[in-house]
Amino acid sequence: MINSRYGINSIGLTGIKQTWNPSPAETVEIALRRGEGNLTAGGAFLAITSPFTGRSPNDKFIVKEPTSDRNVWWGKVNQAMAPDKYALLEQDVKAYLNTRELFVRDLYACADPKRRIKVRLVSESAWQTLFAYNQFIRPDSSDLADFEPTFTILHAPEFHPDPARHGTRKPPSGPLAAIVLNMAARTVIIAGTRYAGEIKKSIFTALNYFLPLDDVFPMHCSANVGPKGDTALFFGLSGTGKTTLSADHRRGLIGDDEHGWANSGVFNFEGGCYAKVIRLSAQAEPEIYATLSRFGTVLENVVMDGNTRRLDLDSEAITENTRAAYPIDYIPNYVPSGLGGHPSNIIFLTADAFGVLPPLARLTSEQAMYYFLSGYTAKLAGTERGVTTPQATFSTCFGAPFMVHFPTVYADMLGKRIAAHGSTVWLLNTGWTGGPFGVGERMKIAHTRAMVTAILDGRLRDVPTKPDPIFGVHVPTECPGVPVEVLQPRNTWADKSAYDAKAKNLAQQFDENFRQFTGNVDPKIAAAGPNA
């Protein structure tokens, strides 16, 4: 355990005891002794985070001070909190934490040394600091004694804010929570929720604020690199396949969730992976499956037999959003530097609940901008509180909950980089085929992997394409390893008129959603959408 000379007393924190930077084994021992979770048969640590088993975006706030006021895209995604309310919340959270045993973890974010920030997590929960250790970049022990944080996270999952006093949300029922970012003070407060994903996403949100101000494009995507050095990006929301499709034994994994794109290339924000494990199988996803039996892996909300300690990966008894957090070096072919070149291919992943989008399509530069700004997918069960069945949603830039500036700021950065580096952009539907959710079936992962392989191997480069009559995207006429009829979604529906009606309905939803951008984008981009 190594303490930094830049302690937490200077910010008014003492706790009844402080434990600094314990090893993973020490952290597990502490967490087990405190009754924070259990060891599984495979050796992973399992915690239950109920009632919060997913992110709580409606409880996220940004402090509205002069600098953030002029930079933030205020609204439902980025709710404002008054500075005086924040001051009361910070005061009360610190007073609460000072009555608890505290665990301090010092870590880095951003693999690019020029962009690196120092993150300090101060938590009342030992296992949450192991989660953070797995997710962020781990400093050398020699760096810890002089570690001075750039960002500090005050983590009080058992403290519930008072809406009247703190200006937080009062839900109709259930516990109270708040995730508050103070960009000026570079402090995050997480209160009332045990869901560990809030820790990593709070820093991702902060990077989405600061990096564009320095002309670095922050991205909600996974990234890998091929034997010839060709980098690929996979954009998409939770559950669309970012982690699964980027974990390919033939390619090096740069990272599975959050990256930056600078003038020098792509870099990972993190040092770990946060995989959805519901119905995970050794056959379909062997690299990820193997991490579940590694000591140090942190599991959230996976069902376990109390006697044998064996996992039931098919069970949704707690949530559909079951998770595994593990260091990236648990994946055999990870890229130690966390760095990659400018991407040759960019893949937009969507899980279409209507079952009408083509499983694979090439996009023009204007279509790429249109579909990036639209960010269409199905919000999958369990990834957010209160979502129990898939819902069609438009999440701009494939990550609206984490976008702090107006969406066109990120879209313009993407467009300039595509033009400068000649990246090819694809739309990949990992959702439903043969009908909508409840009628059709989820796209076979074998078919999806075959499409990705063909993209990255260059075997689709010269394959003719056919424009989709409604969505306008360019669908390859063939793809190795995929039946021809699967490539045309209308052919997979028994009732063709039902397909036409669903497709037109979705096209209208695209059109209605994009109206918020029409005055801020090139007319060619606005015209690149579906034929509504």
Instruction: Please give the positions annotated as active site.
Output: 55, 201, 220, 238, 242-243, 257, 323
Residues 499 and 440: their CA atoms lie apart, in Å, by: 11
428-433-435-439 Cα dihedral, nearest 10 degrees: -120
Residues 373 and 134: their CA atoms lie apart, in Å, by: 31
Six token digits for residue 11: 């910010």
- In angstroms, what is the C-alpha Rg of the chain? 23
In three-state form (DSSP H/G/I as H, E/B as E, the rest C), the secondary structure along 180-204 is EEECCCCEEEEECCCCCHHHHHHHH
Q: Which residue carries 């066109």 as its tokens?
A: 408
Question: Across-strand partners of 299?
Answer: 46, 324
Six token digits for residue 49: 């985070």
> 3-class DSSP state for residue 63?
strand
> 3-class DSSP state for residue 326?
strand
- The strand pair at 391-394 and 376-379 is best described as antiparallel
What are the φ and ψ backbone dihedral angles of 131, each rounded to 5 degrees? -55, -50
- Measured CA angle at 503 (ends 500, 504), to 5 deg: 85
197-203-207-210 Cα dihedral, nearest 10 degrees: 140
What are the φ and ψ backbone dihedral angles of 145, each rounded to 5 degrees? -65, -30
Evaluate whether 402 touches 237 at the Cβ level (below 8 Å): no
The secondary element (H helix, E strand) that includes residue 277 is none
Length of the chain: 532
Between the two ends of the chain, the Cα-to-Cα distance in Å is 61
| Cis omega (within 30 of 0) for bond into 51 | yes
| DSSP string for 214-252 | GT-EEEEEEEEE-TTS-EEEEE--TTSSHHHHH--TTSE
Residues 433 and 26: their CA atoms lie apart, in Å, by: 48
